[in-house]
Structure 1
Amino acid sequence: MEAKKRDSKKMYEVGIVYKRPLFDTMPVIKNSCDAHTVLSELIDYDLVDFKEYFWVLLLTKSNRVLGFSQIGMGDTAGVVVNVKEIFQLALKTNASGIILCHNHPSGNLTSSKPDRTLTEKIKIAGNIFSIQLVDHIIITREGFYSLADNGDILVPDNTLPF
């Protein structure tokens, strides 16, 4: 009986492919209102009252928007956030900064302890990769809440990022 030939060890090539948008087409985020305006163009507000979503904006060093991605979709009580996915996207796009965003279906525009804990976790992870957490915005139909504007996110020199 002939012995089956074993596959030799295979190496699988991993590639990184990303094409940055044209510079002139990239919106600039100067403050939380700019971020909210950009996010409002990307998010379907017909859905924000039904379940919780989590998104990320990826930014250049000069806070130009490289891209946008939905990270999670949950239920009325919360959303599971894959932090690893946030940084996969940030590294793939060579982002220097990120803005997090999620909605509160209840309409409550205050940050919860879990919101602030997750924000701090992502900020610490970002520091390892030199990716600045610029803001975390909570949106509802009634408006938005910026954790940076309200002192919940401080950059290393203890000033707000904007």
Structure 2
Amino acid sequence: MDSSERAFKELRPYFTDLSHEEFFVMYLNRANELIRVKQLSIGGVSGTYVDPKIIFKYGIDMDASAVILAHNHPSGNRKPSESDKKITKQIKQFGELIEMPVLDHLIITDNGYFSFSDQELL
């Protein structure tokens, strides 16, 4: 995964036409090649919860070297909420601690995406 656009193209099918929020993680090897995409939560219309410990437990089990986070906004609004920013910061700090960096967090809608990395919010 060498760009947010490439990650978006890989993840988009998981989020097509959803009326509720879901959270997925892309697990990558040392060459930033995809190991697996894993769904971690299904939420409601206005939110979903993800536990950072679970993200990295799966990453350790898969021998992942990095992760890309992704969730959708069924409303079509690509702008991250304060809650999105807060959880991204927490997950990023956890990843740094265990040397499994968060390379990006994408907010996906039916009409595009927002990349925390591209907007220098990581």
**Which residue, out of 45, 68, 75, partners 2:16?**
45
Structure number with the bigger relative contact order (C-alpha 8 A, sep ≥ 6) is 2
**Which residue, out of 23, 26, 37, partners 1:54?**
23
Structure 1 gap ranges (5+): 1-28, 154-162
Report the TM-score, using the length of structure 1 for normalisation.
0.73
Structure 2 gap ranges (5+): none
Q: Check whether the contact 1:71–1:81 (CA below 8 A) recurs between aligned residues.
A: yes
Aligned position for 1:11: none
**Amino acid in the other structure paired with 2:6:** D
Correspondences of 1:125-140 after superposition (within 5 Å):
125-140=94-109
Give the share of equivalent positions with the same residue, in percent. 34
Aligned position for 1:35: 7
**Amino acid in the other structure paired with 2:9:** T
CA apart distance, 1:46: 2.4
Distance across 2 between alignment mates of 1:44 and 1:73: 11
Greater per-residue strand proportion: 2
Greater per-residue helix proportion: 2
Q: Check whether the contact 2:27–2:37 (CA below 8 A) recurs between aligned residues.
A: yes
**Amino acid in the other structure paired with 1:36:** F
Over 4 Å off, 4+ runs: none
User: How many residue pairs end up in the alignment?
Assistant: 122
Give SS of 1:90's match: helix
